[in-house]
Structure 1
Amino acid sequence: MNWTGRELTAEVGPVAHGGHCVSRVDGRVVFVRHALPGETVIALVTEDKGGSFCRADAIEVLEASPHRVTPPCPLAAPGGCGGCDWQHASGDYQRTLKAAVVAEQLHRLAGLDIEASDVDVEELAGGLLEWRTRARLAVDDDGVPGFRAHHSHRVVPVESCPIAAPGTVDQVTSRTWRPGTELEVCVDSDQWTYVTQWRKDRRGKAVPRAVVGDPVVVERAARREWRVSAHGFWQVHPDAADVLSEVVSSWSGLAAGQCAWDLYSGVGLFAGVLAEQVGPEGTVIAVESVREAAEFGVDNLADLPQVRTIAGRVEPVLGAGSLPDPDVVVLDPPRKGAGRVVVDAIAERSPSRVVYVACDPAALARDVKFFGERGFRLAGLRAFDAFPMTHHVECVALLERT
């Protein structure tokens, strides 16, 4: 029987990866959004595909958690914007929930003996609001920009966004845009705003067009200036790039003259840090699949001849076997993780340690398991609340050869 549209009284259980909590009703698992562990709620089933679980929104709270707060955005509610998961939780409790998720993923997927109390999700400067320097919005059929609802293509129009930095969302919501397109907006370290509009060409491929500002932005981190595409990858929290660079530097353990790999290197942030450590007699190999980002990386690090940047997918580049053996490997893969092929290729070259930067704890846990099977142990873990109000969390893992 399909439960979609059914209202359930649910006793809310533990947090789960993805911004919801687990409940059980009549023998089925119900993933409930807008709830907190320990609450009793009326939940409206929003999705039921007929399996062992369904999805629901808490539409009424019968017994509230002491950690519940009033969301600063009225659209952070059932049927509203799908971008924020935890606006109804205090900041401290959001980090507690994220710590539980990180620990649960490492325990379940990597088989590690780890508890939530072993994980400290560290707060970044700036608080819970106005931190997001890059955002992507969809445009509805009337030309009004907004964010998509959870698990839906439906566009929820917005006038503002409390987690967005000034100069981003507020710069595009006062006018209409071409229906069916998407807008990417960012504000850089110089507080300049840039807007890119994505539209499909005749072949259905999304192509960018700069509509506000230069398509190249300037960011500053790790004591350097970085040129980045306005629609390319850069950390969205203004403190994240500096903080992550500091961890990579402290955990790499590199000495002058050694060799490091920086995989999924983007525009060269970590490669620059590693190059300072190995010095002019050392070597840093940076591998990046997006050619535009790799080209920016070459330009950004032109003063560091010890850095060699390769534009190409990590798997075939490592598979070619032509790179020098690394003493240390740093990798910052996309959300899906690196995967067994990349882990095996790294392990074959026997680095003493691996510093793994991850934006998804499940992907990190899977890859930690693969590294464990190849003789590496988890020697250190730090987690950062680089995405307040959402379920996302940034982790850095140190893996050492046993």
Structure 2
Amino acid sequence: MAHGGHCVARYEGRVVFVRHTLPGETVDALVTEDRGGGFCRADAVAVVEAAAGRVEPSCPLADIARGTDRCGGCDWQHVDPAVQRELKAAVVAEQLTRLAGVEYPVEVSPLPGGPLRWRSRVRLAVDDDGAVGFRAHRSHRVIPVRDCPITMEGALDEVASRSWTPGAEVAVTRDGSGEVHVTEHSVRPRRSGRGGGRPTRSARKVRGTGIAHETAVGREWGVRSEGFWQVHPEAADRFAEVVARMADVPSGGRAWDLYGGVGLFAAVLGQQAGPSGDVLLVESGESAVRDAEANLADLPQVRVRSGRVERVVTEPTVPAPHVVVLDPPRKGAGSEVVDAISRARPSRVVHVACDPASLARDIGLFRERGYRLSRLESFDAFPMTQHVECIALLEDTERNS
């Protein structure tokens, strides 16, 4: 199994990345993409010899009998959930070894609720007939859906039963109160002239207030319905608990919450630091900044700053922290941000990541700057997909030697 949800096979000296299979299986695979060179991509279309972990998919759109006409959303509907976690653990460990030079025993823990009906936020495409669906893997082709077994019960009922603007996208959020928010995003060609014929984008709220109401860490949260919040309903509390335990900000201490979103981790850091402490939340998204300011108004020790992380934390007036928490986008933090954090020399860095390759690259950068990986906890926050959430604790080797 390789990072990305596919297995690695070899055929006539070339690498073949095969989806919808398992390590050790023999399958008939149809090549779906071949640009020459040392590899191509393929999809399993028949199983000749199955592995022990293969099961019948819960979703008919993942049935191998559909050939390549399958939904591209789920990678592992054909895999037993316990085996999914084993494969994810193996991928995380391999990425750490290969990209960070770290050997670490990885175990992926499930979140409560089971492998189905966990997805609270979803974005669908609209086909030429006005029906919603999901795109096929690495394709613009839309596979129409009536329901999605990993999406929360009832979230798609109204969406799938009506017609939409062809070519649009439909965003659906079911928040913690049970309210469903639906927004249609359309792209329309602009008339030629001074505008250069560039398309215009518009959003139309179809259902809901546009503000999702969530509950986590004993607090109520208001989040723009299309803003960032953990997709799995159990994830926010679980991740915040792990971050708080790893961060362990001293009373009166200073902490940075980088890529802080609407303030989930800043809330627990602020509670640890107390009224005499100082927590700096940095976020570049304007709507998230507004939500964070509103959500954390009762914690004056938390300061919210709008801007790019690498710029804000290198300002001379920003005091060095005892602890840093960062939850960067999928591509990771990168060398510029890691440099800025390392120069500030916090004793602990808590890194939250949804991509094991990006996490491993960042850990490698921190290691070069004198930090070591002392703890890693991984969670199956996205069952039936190849995605996995990891929370890593890095400690300054000089201070903690």
Q: TM-score, normalised by structure 2?
A: 0.94
Residue 114 of structure 2 is aligned to residue 119 of structure 1? no
- 1:42 aligns with 28
- Residue 182 (structure 1) aligns with: 169
- 2:89 equivalent in structure 1: 99
Mapped to 2, the partners of 1:280 and 1:235 lie a distance apart of 28
Question: Which 5+ residue runs of structure 2 have no aligned equivalent?
Answer: 191-197
Amino acid at match of 1:319: T
Q: Give the aligned partner of residue 161 of structure 1.
A: 148
Question: Given the alignment of the two structures, is residue 80 of structure 1 paired with residue 67 of structure 2, yes or no?
Answer: no
Q: Structure 1: which amino acid aligns with 2:262?
A: V
**Letter of the 2:326 counterpart:** L
Contact 1:167 1:186 in 2 (8 A): no
Cα deviation for residue 207 of structure 1 reads 4.1
Q: For residues 116 and 133 of structure 2, what CA distance do their matches in structure 1 show?
A: 18
The whole-number CA distance in structure 1 between the counterparts of 2:204 and 2:255 is 36
In the TM superposition, residue 354 of structure 1 has moved relative to its aligned partner by 0.3
Q: Quick check: 1:141 aligned with 2:128?
A: yes
C-alpha displacement at 1:286, in angstroms?
Answer: 0.2
User: C-alpha separation between the residues in 2 aligned to 1:112 and 1:207?
Assistant: 46
In structure 2, distance between residues paired with 1:222 and 1:49? 49
Counting only pairs closer than 5 Å after superposition, residues 1-400 of structure 1 correspond to structure 2 as: 15-77=1-63, 78-114=68-104, 118-200=105-187, 202=190, 203-204=198-199, 206-400=201-395
Contact 1:43–1:59 (Cα < 8 Å) also in 2: yes
What is the aligned residue count? 385
User: For each residue in 1:328-381, what CA deviation from the matched residue of structure 2 results, as whole angstroms up to 9, or x when unmatched?
Assistant: 000001111110000000000000000000000000000000000110000000
1:205-235 deviation digits (Å, cap 9, x = unpaired): 5443321010111000111111000111110
Unpaired runs of 5+ in structure 1?
A: 1-14
Matched residues, percent identical?
A: 60
Question: For 1:60 and 1:239, how far apart are their aligned partners in 2?
Answer: 36
TM-score normalised by L of structure 1: 0.94
Secondary structure of 2:160's match?
Answer: coil
> For the residues of structure 2 that align with 1:335 and 1:381, how far apart are their CA atoms?
18
Partner-residue secondary structure (3-state), 1:72? coil
Q: Helix, strand or coil: the match of 1:127?
A: coil
- For residues 215 and 167 of structure 1, what CA distance do their matches in structure 2 show? 18
Give the 3-state SS of the residue equivalent to 2:113 in structure 1. Answer: coil
3-state SS of 1:308 partner: strand
Contact 1:217–1:229 (Cα < 8 Å) also in 2: yes
Q: Which moved further from structure 2: 371-380 or 313-322? A: 313-322
CA offset at residue 387 of structure 1? 0.1
- Which secondary structure does the structure 1 equivalent of 2:213 belong to? strand
Aligned CA-pair RMSD: 1.0
